[in-house]
Chains A and B, each alone.
Chain A
Amino acid sequence: AQSVTQLDSQVPVFEEAPVELRCNYSSSVSVYLFWYVQYPNQGLQLLLKYLSGSTLVKGINGFEAEFNKSQTSFHLRKPSVHISDTAEYFCAVIAGNTPLVFGKGTRLSVIA
């Protein structure tokens, strides 16, 4: 069965600094990969996805992620964060016929 590991549970970063949220997955079959963001008291909003094609995918709010098959990683990056990016971020994977599996989440705190 596939699994997702988000290596950092909390990431503090100063406003306008770059950030990288790390995600590794394990699966023996090809995967679809996703990053979702959750603001307080809200559902999940899709940031970006990798289904096939270019390994560098761009999403909303200036985020991007790179699929690295050899390292089984899908790290999320933003070159300059804003206070409004403070939220919880979830990496998720679909492999084969199995349902969507989520990581434990990374809480991003942007400091003014």
Chain B
Amino acid sequence: KAGVTQTPRYLIKTRGQQVTLSCSPISGHRSVSWYQQTPGQGLQFLFEYFSETQRNKGNFPGRFSGRQFSNSRSEMNVSTLELGDSALYLCASSHIGKETQYFGPGTRLLVL
């Protein structure tokens, strides 16, 4: 089975712009979670989607949003980018979300 894929792998944006990241889960997985990884804050949970519904949300401002499509693929969007949004964004998938999560390679976002 193919693993979790994320596109793009690298992204450079400027402050004030918006960005959309994409995640394709492992075939058959219906839960997709997103995490932000930074040197200072470590790995922080952004949100989880299951069957196109947001099931859990972390403590991030409303500029961070996401959605899931009927084929379980997910996108996350960050509007009005700030310098502090520079991070590695990781997507993980699992069957139903309450067990083992498998991670993609991440999208590295740099905001200038």
Residues of A within 8 A of B (CB): 32, 34, 36, 41-46, 49, 51, 90, 94, 97-105
Interface 9-mer from B40-48, B65-73, B78-86: B40-48
> Which chain B residue shows the least CB distance to A100?
B101
Please count how many residues in chain B sit with their CB below 8 Å of the partner chain's CB atoms.
Answer: 22
- Are A49 and B42 interface neighbours, CB within 8 A? no
The number of A-B residue pairs with CB atoms under 8 Å apart is: 47
Check A32–B99 contact: CB distance below 8 A.
yes
Judge whether A100 and B103 touch: CB under 8 Å. no
| Those 3 A-B pairs whose CB atoms lie nearest each other, nearest first | A102-B43, A44-B103, A43-B103
In contact, B101 and A43 (Cβ under 8 angstroms): no
Complex: A90 Cα to B92 Cα, angstroms:
15
When the two chains form their complex, are residues B33 and A99 in contact, meaning their CB atoms are under 8 A apart? Answer: yes
